[in-house]
């Protein structure tokens, strides 16, 4: 069974989508529609901007969404997913790709999400850090202890694959946790160059702002099952999908659970649809030893 997966923020690169724009009329049409909806030419930044311009949350999130969804559209009849999932922002790409949310509505939600998260970051600055080489339970225990002792929020945010957990919270809390995690044997505890504490309680203002926008948007039954970050489980009911999407901003991304659930449901081929190869690396580590599972990225012109 084919499972298509969609990446999140961090997968962006300058030049992304330019080949699609130049070679597929449908891609050009959708990119130009996006420029109109957003009120600025995001394509100029995607195709020929600077890394710094592309790193702005208000640009990054719609850019990754556009590259991912338009890649799926350009696959045409070859895009036949039997299940889909997306990492963080990528969940919205997955929902748009399988008809749960119309392209235009999904783009508006992604932009609203980006702006709400940016405001939350400015109101309550925070950061994230990648922890490599420890068991999840040990990371969780140390984060909880730091929060209790210092009053600075730090929690597990992205459960990416065995031995890789991204923590999130107030900068001081994350920095203290990193020192303790290194002392506990972490191979790496690296503070990430991100604009805020995503997937943590610090995103509560963004969650509240986005909830109204999601509630006002029409969701449809997706054409195949969707696996969601908040519980790693399969969902097909629009009301459930909406509720999980709202919770996602402050909840952790249970990516390892999600991928294992898809494998248990019969997924044998994971295809990353969008910029970068980060999800391919994670899934290869999650499915290690399972010879029945293959992991690739989308391929055009073959």
Q: Tell me the angle at which helices 57-74 and 25-38 cross, rounded to the nearest 10 degrees.
A: 150
pLDDT band at 117 (very low <50, low <70, confident <90, very high): very high
pLDDT at 186 over 90: yes
Judge if 118 and 147 occupy the same domain: no
pLDDT of residue 227: 98
Domain boundary pick from 169, 191, 213: 191
Given 152, 168, 191, the domain boundary residue is 191
Q: Which residues contact 279 (CB under 8 A, 6 or more apart)?
A: 5, 6, 7, 87, 90, 270, 272
Residue-wise pLDDT for 195-233, tens only, equals 789 999 999 999 999 999 999 999 999 999 999 999 999
Distances (CA, A) of 2 to 69, 83, 219, 224: 17, 7, 23, 11
Same domain, 208 and 177: no
Instruction: Please determine, for residue 302, whether its predicted confidence score (pLDDT) is greater than 60.
Output: no
Instruction: For residues 54 and 73, state if they share a domain.
Output: yes
| 199 carries an active-site annotation | yes
Shared-domain flag, residues 76 and 117: yes
Containing structural domain, residue 130: 125-191
The CB density around residue 289, as the number of other CB atoms within 10 Å, is 5
Q: Are residues 112 and 251 in the same domain?
A: yes
Selecting among 71, 88, 200, 287, the annotated active-site residue is 88
Q: What is the pLDDT of residue 291?
A: 84
**Over 90: is that where the pLDDT of 162 sits?**
yes
Same domain, 237 and 116: yes
**Is 104 found in the same domain as 16?**
yes
Compute the Cα dihedral for 232, 89, 147, 204 and give only its sign: negative
Same domain, 118 and 141: no
CATH number (domain holding residue 164): 3.30.70.250
- Sign of the Cα torsion 266, 270, 273, 276 reads positive
Predicted confidence (pLDDT) per residue in 72-89, tens digit: 999 999 999 999 999 999
Q: For residue 301, name the pLDDT band (cuts at 50, 70, 90).
A: low
Q: Is the pLDDT of residue 10 over 90?
A: no
Residue 274's region, left for phi above 0, alpha for psi from -120 to 50, else beta, is left
Active site residue 220: no
For residue 174, what pLDDT band results from cuts at 50, 70 and 90?
A: very high
CATH of the domain at 207: 3.40.366.10
Question: Do 224 and 292 sit in the same domain of this protein?
Answer: yes
Quote the pLDDT of residue 4: 98
In whole angstroms, what is the distance from residue 22 CA to residue 132 CA?
Answer: 40
Nearest to 89 by CA among 134, 59, 44, 45: 59
The pTM score is 0.95
Q: What is the number of structural domains in the chain?
A: 2
- Contact predicate 229/198, CB 8 Å: no
Spot the catalytic one: 199, 200, 252, 287: 199
Please indicate, yes or no, if residue 302 is contained in any of the structural domains.
Answer: no
Q: Which one, of 210, 177, 176, 174, lies nearest residue 194 by Cα?
A: 174
**133 and 115 fall within a common domain:** no
- Please say if the pLDDT value at position 288 is more than 80: yes
CB atoms within 10 A of CB 300: 12
Residue 57: the pLDDT is: 87
Instruction: Give the pLDDT mean for 25-38.
Output: 98
Domain boundary at 154, 170, 191, which? 191
207 plus 86 within the same structural domain: yes
């Amino acid at each position: 069974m084919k499972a298509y997966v969609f990446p999140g923020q961090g997968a962006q690169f300058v030049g992304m989508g330019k080949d699609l724009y130049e070679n597929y009329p449908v891609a050009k049409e959708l990119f130009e529609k996006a420029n109109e909806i957003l009120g600025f030419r995001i394509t100029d930044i995607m195709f020929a901007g600077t890394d710094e311009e592309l790193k702005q949350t208000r640009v990054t999130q719609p850019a990754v969404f556009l590259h991912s969804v338009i890649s799926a559209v350009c696959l045409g009849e070859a895009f036949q997913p039997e299940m889909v999932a997306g990492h963080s922002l990528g969940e919205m790409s997955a929902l748009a790709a399988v008809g749960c949310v119309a392209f235009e509505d999904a783009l508006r939600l992604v932009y609203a999400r980006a702006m709400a998260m940016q405001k939350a970051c400015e109101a309550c600055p925070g950061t994230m850090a990648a922890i490599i080489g420890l068991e999840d339970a040990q990371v969780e225990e140390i984060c909880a202890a730091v929060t209790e002792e210092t009053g600075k929020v730090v929690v597990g945010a992205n459960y990416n694959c065995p031995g890789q957990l991204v923590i999130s919270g107030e900068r001081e809390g994350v920095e203290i946790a990193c020192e303790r995690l290194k002392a506990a044997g972490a191979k790496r505890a690296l503070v990430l160059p991100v604009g805020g504490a995503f997937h943590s309680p610090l995103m509560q203002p963004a969650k509240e702002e986005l909830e109204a926008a999601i509630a006002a948007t029409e969701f449809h039954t997706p054409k195949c099952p969707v696996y969601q970050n908040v519980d790693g489980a399969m969902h097909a009911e629009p009301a459930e999908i909406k509720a999980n999407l709202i919770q996602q901003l402050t909840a952790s991304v249970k990516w390892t659970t999600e991928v294992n659930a898809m494998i248990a449901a019969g997924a044998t081929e994971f295809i990353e649809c969008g910029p970068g190869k980060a999800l391919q690396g994670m899934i290869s580590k999650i499915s290690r030893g399972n010879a029945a599972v293959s992991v690739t990225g989308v391929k055009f012109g073959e």
